[in-house]
Amino acid sequence: MRNYDHIPASTVRFWAWLDSAVTWMLAIPALAPQFLGGLYWLNGLLGGAAQPPPFEPIHLLFVSLTGSLVSVWVVARLLHPVGLLAVIDGWGRLWVGASLVWILLLGGPPVLALFVLTEWAGAVAQLRAAYRRA
């Protein structure tokens, strides 16, 4: 197994803190609709819909589950900021960014393009740190 101990803990923590800035509100069902409202407000500024579509309880369940899982992942990286977690996070960010591109191609809200940029920036930063020549 490859050793990723050369990746600074600060790199792992930086991307974890960035994730926490977004996901903590999604993890709390009472706050998730406010976050989504803000996201759609920004989407309106980018030329898309300014109001979120009707939101049913099942939608809130999946939003909160996603926010909760990412929040747990954030806590793991903050408490144990080892290089292997940066590699896992980097590859995961590539996947999430590609999924967001797919949703955009299907007509998803333009604001998601901002998340593609942050996901892929995190992937590049962490994977570059992981695979650079020591």
pLDDT for 72-122, tens place per residue? 999 999 999 999 999 999 999 999 999 999 999 999 999 999 999 999 999
Amino acid identity of 112? Answer: L
- Asked if 6 contacts 134 with a C-beta cutoff of 8 angstroms, the reply is yes
Please state the φ and ψ torsions of residue 13, each to the nearest 5 degrees: -65, -40
- Asked if 67 contacts 28 with a C-beta cutoff of 8 angstroms, the reply is yes
Domain positions in the chain: 9-131
pTM greater than 0.75 (yes/no): yes
CA angle at 35 for the pair 30 and 38, rounded to the nearest 5°: 140
pLDDT for 4-48, tens place per residue? 999 999 999 999 999 999 899 999 999 999 999 999 999 999 999
Q: Say how many CA atoms lie within 13 Å of 9 toward its Cβ.
A: 5
| pLDDT higher than 90, residue 132 | no
